[in-house]
Amino acid sequence: MARILILYSTTDGHTRKICDRLQALLEPQGHQVEVASITQDPAATLERFDAIVIGASIRYGKHSPLLFDFIHRHARLLNERPSAFFSVSVSARKAKNSRPETNPYMRKFLRRISWRPGQLAVFAGKIDYPRYTFFDRFMIRFIMLITGGPTDPQAVVEFTDWGQVEAFARLIGAQDQ
Ligand SMILES: Cc1cc2nc3c(=O)[nH]c(=O)nc-3n(C[C@H](O)[C@H](O)[C@H](O)COP(=O)(O)O)c2cc1C
């Protein structure tokens, strides 16, 4: 049994939902799992965990600056533990962007940090037009128009492949045996 910390960086909550799913998959494997926001900075408690997983979403081409702050501050500890990272974006719904080696956001992310997660994943996120501001809805609809995605302003579409999330949970669980 391992004590696993799952940290999320989210704006609209979908990355948190994926983290909750990972927790629900890992606990029956016998692991003790805590899910927390990266903004809470659990620095004081980080040492308590045997393994650390971080998930973060993309907004206008970028992961949150808070994610990079956190990783820079804790890179040594992160590199000492079994660890994993996943990135969430809508462009990951396309086959060409669906793997860590081919996803441009993941590649850019890895170039900026000294942490080397043991496991990596890229998950397709969610579009939820009704909850966006006018500006965000306009921008995302425009991007969807040029990339062949949904443009109905009422559309709520979850692109996440939950089977892929399950496979990732199995890798994390096995890493900590
Ligand atoms: C304002 C906004 C900007 C976004 N920018 C991008 C982007 O540049 N590239 C991309 O692939 N997805 C983009 N997305 C899609 C999000 O990554 C996707 O909705 C994801 O599920 C959000 O996860 P979260 O709810 O955890 O923040 C954007 C979404 C919003 C609302």
Q: For residue range 18-45, what is the model confidence (pLDDT) as tens digits?
A: 999 999 999 999 999 999 999 886 666 8
Is 74 a residue whose pLDDT tops 60? yes
Atom from ligand 1 closest to the CA of residue 124: 21
Which residue is associated with the tokens 């006018």?
134
> Could you give the CA distance from residue 120 to residue 109 in angstroms, rounded to a whole number?
11
Atom from ligand 1 closest to the CA of residue 159: 21
Q: Could you please report the per-residue DSSP string of 16-27?
A: HHHHHHHHHHHG
Is 1 within 8 Å of 30 (Cβ atoms)? yes
Residue type, 63: H
Is 76 a residue whose pLDDT tops 80? yes
Maximum C-alpha span of the chain: 47
Residue with the smallest CA separation from ligand 1 atom 19 is: 126
Mean pLDDT estimate for the chain: 95
Pocket of ligand 1 (CB under 6 A): 10-15, 57-61, 88-91, 125-127, 132, 136, 140
Give the predicted TM-score (pTM) of the model: 0.97
Is 18 within 8 Å of 159 (Cβ atoms)? no
